[in-house]
Chain A
Amino acid sequence: MSDYFERIRRHPSRLAGDIFIIFMLIVVIAWTLFPLYWAFINSIKFPYDVYGATWIPWLQFEPTTKFWRELLDQREIRNALKNSLIISIGAATLALFLGTLAAYGLARFRFKDPSNGSLTTWFLSQRVLPPVIFVTPFYLLARELGLRGVPFLGLDSVWTLVLLNATFNLPFPVIILTQMFREIPKEIEEAAQVDGASRLEIFYKIALPLVAPGLVVAFVIVMAFSWNEYILAVTIAVKNAIPIPVIIAGAESTRGIDYQAVGTRTVLALLPPAIIALVASRYIIRGLSLGAVKG
């Protein structure tokens, strides 16, 4: 600390710069956290407290868990939570399985016509397809498959949503893990090959454990994005397969805005991905930056 003051004494202009940086830091954090905090305090306020400018529970208003208990008591909410968990975990598992294999292939083999570059680009370009285009064909296809009695693939089936979410998020594991597999020194794998290990054995016994952090990132990203997905969910789910985002879309009542319902339901939707994001944030920052960060 004394070093710091010494430095400031020598260069007084630095102080203004530092104050500016700290000020910006506070502004950015406040701007980012405000909506989340707003949703949270509304979910623990009685209606008569909502309109007062009160921000601190216990001091300024009496918090309540009443609306949370009411929310979690509803069978449709519990069912939606279960559906959302199946969809997000299922989609992440499936996308990771297909994506990891593809990523290893792209990282370790040389492709010609199409080249590795165009193949990777092609995978990335799947993100380009707007899901809203698929609303119609998926709905019609699922309706037809359901009518023909094809298992798992009809309308109102969580498994249809697992497959669709896995498809649209497949680019993430491919891009993230291709990068990670390339960072494994080739010598390690070559040594194993000399010892007589097959390509597949090298893949799952040596390469896979070495990219474990990458697997975590890819899993978390696909899981969160599948958890938040709304358009495909509202298209496919009719009753039993309805996940959380579709449930919160019904939070609005006709007599105006219901702060408690919006509060509890948005927090319910935001919380699981937010917790995961916080826990794995170090890895996620690396994964989200699409190969721009060094580990």
Chain B
Amino acid sequence: MSETTLTETVARDFGPPPGKPSRQKGDGTKWFFVGPAIIWILLFTLFPLLYAMRTSFYAFRSGKMLRWVEFDNYRNLFSDEALIANLQRTIIYVIVVVAVEMVLGFLLALLFNRQMRGVSSLRTIMVLPLFASPIALGYLGKTIFYEIDGPVNRAIEALGGNAVPWLSNPTWAFVAIMVVDIWQWTPFVFLVSLAGLQGLPQDITEAAEVDGASAFQRLRSITLPLMAPILWLILLLRTIDAFKVVDIVISMTLGGPGRATELYGFYIFRTARRFFNYGAAAAQGYLLLFIVMVLVSLLWSRIKNLYDTDEAEAR
């Protein structure tokens, strides 16, 4: 495999390809390769999105389209107090979960970024949570956090603590679903960070060590700047995915107790599938899409900026 730096690898995937144009002729051929996938995605996303747009201007009752109501469904979004409380809850969830996963995953990657026999088997094991079905995990979480004699409470009691009301107390239930999310996705941050760390050029860090830079200094002024594009990318992907969480809530708490664990994705899902109010669900969906798009453009420019400066320095 050819030697490539981290930024080059990122740049290759998320920017224009470096180097000279390979071939100018063959316009038809290149669209033969890329065209089908583009048409496919447009067909299956753009068309439903337009359809949802139309739906969002109608009132529904038990799944039947009643009448054109203009922007009523959108106006209702901002007068619905439950929805606003819900968004706040979701934002707290996203911030906490993503922060914990990023810090924990990156620290573990730093810790295990060394030549030792256990690392490859650790990586193999860490792949497992990523492939666990979230809906199954929710049910599993329910049995693990079961309040009477569940394994977590039993461990707490064995250590001399009091049983925690994991599923009946609003705050603890919120913590419990966060723990499940963290269990599943910290390995993602860990695996990608570790891969990134092992791709870093070793000589710079070694030179700094010889010059007497402390471990913390090396981390702050060498490792972190070099890892920045990868870390921003992980942050972007994790934030988007955390906003979309529905499955764990459905199987673990159904939004309860009360509305303590009702995240926004679940809220939309329930509007559509429990109350059959497709118009409102479409409007709620567009609000989520808007939020995610804003996030993407904010973080994307960050990733792109980092990439652009690297490119400028290279010249």
Which residues of A are at the interface with B, using a C-beta cutoff of 8 A?
21-22, 24-25, 28-29, 31-33, 35-36, 38-39, 42, 51, 53, 98-99, 101-102, 104-111, 115-117, 119-121, 123-141, 163-164, 166-167, 170, 174-175, 178-179, 182-183, 186, 199, 203, 224, 227-228, 230-231, 234-235, 244-245, 248-249, 251-252, 257, 259, 262-263, 265-266, 269-270, 273-274, 276-278, 281-282, 284-286, 288-295
Q: Mark B102-120, 1 if CB is under 8 A from A, else 0.
A: 0000001001101010100
Asked if B188 and A227 make an inter-chain contact with CB atoms under 8 angstroms apart, the answer reads: no
Asked if B13 and A291 make an inter-chain contact with CB atoms under 8 angstroms apart, the answer reads: yes
B267 nearest CB neighbor, chain A only: A132
How close is B18's CB to chain A, nearest CB, in angstroms? 10
Asked if A129 and B45 make an inter-chain contact with CB atoms under 8 angstroms apart, the answer reads: yes
Known: A130-B265, A141-B51, A262-B139. A289 touches B151 (CB 8 A): no
Asked if A136 and B124 make an inter-chain contact with CB atoms under 8 angstroms apart, the answer reads: no
How close is A146's CB to chain B, nearest CB, in angstroms? 15
B182 nearest CB neighbor, chain A only: A31
From residue 237 to 287 of chain B, which have CB atoms closer than 8 A to chain A? 237, 240, 243-244, 246-247, 250-251, 265, 268-269, 272-273, 278, 281-282, 285-286
* Distance of A128 Cα from B281 Cα, bound (Å): 18
With an 8 Å Cβ cutoff, the count of chain B residues facing the other chain is: 104
Q: Which of B93-101, B190-198, B203-211 participates in binding chain A?
A: B190-198
Asked if A109 and B26 make an inter-chain contact with CB atoms under 8 angstroms apart, the answer reads: yes
19 contacts between A and B (CB under 8 A): A21-B114, A28-B126, A32-B128, A33-B125, A39-B136, A107-B17, A109-B30, A124-B14, A132-B246, A132-B288, A133-B49, A141-B47, A174-B37, A257-B146, A270-B133, A285-B195, A288-B127, A289-B191, A293-B196
- CB contacts (< 8 Å) of B142 on chain A: these are 257, 262
Q: Mark B15-39, 1 if CB is under 8 A from A, else 0.
A: 1110001111010011111101110
Asked if A249 and B281 make an inter-chain contact with CB atoms under 8 angstroms apart, the answer reads: no
Asked if B13 and A289 make an inter-chain contact with CB atoms under 8 angstroms apart, the answer reads: no
Asked if B192 and A288 make an inter-chain contact with CB atoms under 8 angstroms apart, the answer reads: yes
Asked whether B61 is an interface residue with its Cβ less than 8 Å from the other chain, the reply is no
Known: A116-B17, A288-B192. A141 touches B48 (CB 8 A): yes
* Distance of A127 Cα from B140 Cα, bound (Å): 26
Residue from A53, A199, A293 within 8 A of B29 (CB atoms) = A199
Asked if A39 and B36 make an inter-chain contact with CB atoms under 8 angstroms apart, the answer reads: no
How close is B131's CB to chain A, nearest CB, in angstroms? 4
Residue from B6, B55, B187, B246 within 8 A of A136 (CB atoms) = B55
From residue 138 to 194 of chain B, which have CB atoms closer than 8 A to chain A? 139-144, 146, 149, 151, 154, 183, 187-188, 191-192
- CB contacts (< 8 Å) of A135 on chain B: these are 268-269, 272-273, 281, 285
Asked whether B219 is an interface residue with its Cβ less than 8 Å from the other chain, the reply is no
Asked if B191 and A288 make an inter-chain contact with CB atoms under 8 angstroms apart, the answer reads: yes
* Distance of A102 Cα from B35 Cα, bound (Å): 7
* Distance of A29 Cα from B129 Cα, bound (Å): 11
Asked if A231 and B282 make an inter-chain contact with CB atoms under 8 angstroms apart, the answer reads: no
Asked if B44 and A167 make an inter-chain contact with CB atoms under 8 angstroms apart, the answer reads: yes
Would you list the 5 A-B pairs with minimal beta carbon distance, nearest first? A105-B33, A133-B285, A109-B30, A137-B48, A102-B37
B17 nearest CB neighbor, chain A only: A116
Query: Contacts A132-B246, A167-B45 given; 14 further ones with Cβ under 8 A?
Result: A32-B126, A98-B36, A101-B34, A105-B33, A130-B289, A133-B282, A135-B285, A170-B41, A228-B135, A248-B136, A281-B124, A281-B127, A292-B192, A292-B230
* Distance of A39 Cα from B114 Cα, bound (Å): 33
B27 nearest CB neighbor, chain A only: A109
* Distance of A133 Cα from B268 Cα, bound (Å): 8
* Distance of A183 Cα from B1 Cα, bound (Å): 7
Asked if B195 and A133 make an inter-chain contact with CB atoms under 8 angstroms apart, the answer reads: no
- CB contacts (< 8 Å) of B38 on chain A: these are 102, 119
Residue from B37, B133, B151 within 8 A of A245 (CB atoms) = B133
How close is B200's CB to chain A, nearest CB, in angstroms? 10
- CB contacts (< 8 Å) of A263 on chain B: these are 143
How close is A274's CB to chain B, nearest CB, in angstroms? 6
Asked whether B199 is an interface residue with its Cβ less than 8 Å from the other chain, the reply is yes
How close is A259's CB to chain B, nearest CB, in angstroms? 6
How close is A106's CB to chain B, nearest CB, in angstroms? 6
- CB contacts (< 8 Å) of B296 on chain A: these are 125, 128
* Distance of A98 Cα from B15 Cα, bound (Å): 21
